[in-house]
Amino acid sequence: MVRFIALLVGVAFAGVLLLALGNTVYGVVTDPPAATAEHEFHLHPKELKLASDGAFGKYDNRQLQRGLQVYKEVCSACHSLRLVSFRDLEGIGYNEAQVKNFAASIDTIPSINPDTGEASTRKGIPSDRFPSPFANDVAARAANNNAIPPDLSLMTKARHDGSAYVYSLLTGFQNQPAKLLKEFPDSKTPPGLHYNPYFANLNLAMAPPLTSEGQVAYLDGTRPTVDQMAKDVSAFLTWTAEPKLQARRQTGFAVIGFLLVFCVLAWGAYQNVWRNVKH
């Protein structure tokens, strides 16, 4: 009797689920959701090829150094790299002396005046992390149309197609298409925001950061087009998110090699142990 009641309860529960699913499918078919501007005009990130792509990819230190230069001269005005220390820059080809000089060039590291006990700033040292451009969130909102610029340390890991997303966002600012305004008259970009089809809701508070060729004068002589600067800083942010990428891959290949050798040895041992046993 108990089993019969349990069976009835299970059948009833399954029936309710099937009924709910059927009603949902029927509603979608008969009354599909209205199209939105975000759904119709949001674009998938552009294709971006970096030296670090693929199983055997390696970082291009020259490109990473150019990307650091773009970050320092353009992006650092609004965005922080709170998880990156100056000494980490040795990982992209700088020596110890160069890292010390770079750290010392940053004179906005928060500190305390030992004589007065008041807040002050000092020059950076290699163990310091990249400082935030704003004292707090209130100051960040006040300077950016009530939006807090995100930290970029892990940005390429926090977004789908991260490197390509950053590159597309930086090169995707444009005027709203006439077709969008015709189909969705209420979707006009609000004052203070900027249209970008690679952003989720098409409008963001960040103004185009890379606006013209030569905005950054590359030290290695590379032509600083907007496209090149966007690629370089995207590569740099890929490194900040995964500074141990190459070491991780090398470890992975070593583990795979070990497992292959182990499998061969195990198979050989199996054959040796059971060689006299008739099947």
The domains found in the chain, sorted by start residue, are 37-84+129-247 (1.10.760.10)
- Point out the least confidently predicted range of 21-25, 85-89, 107-111, 222-226: 21-25
26 — pLDDT class (breaks 50, 70, 90): low
**Residues whose CB falls within 8 Å of the CB of residue 58, separated by 6 or more in sequence, listed in order:** 51, 52, 246
Report the percent of the chain where pLDDT is more than 90: 66
Query: Could you tell me the sign of the dihedral formed by the alpha carbons of 224, 229, 235, 240, in that order?
Result: positive
Express each pLDDT in 134-149 by its tens digit: 988 999 998 888 889 9
Average pLDDT over residues 91-111: 93
Rg (CA), the chain: 28
79 annotated binding-site participant: yes
CA distances from 243 to 52, 85, 162, 199, 226 (A): 11, 12, 15, 26, 25
Q: Is 263 annotated as a binding residue?
A: no
Which residue would you say has higher pLDDT here, 187 or 150? 150
**CA 133, CA 131: separation in Å to the nearest integer?**
6
- pLDDT more than 70, % of the chain: 95
**How many whole angstroms from its chain centre is CA 32?**
33
pTM of the model: 0.84
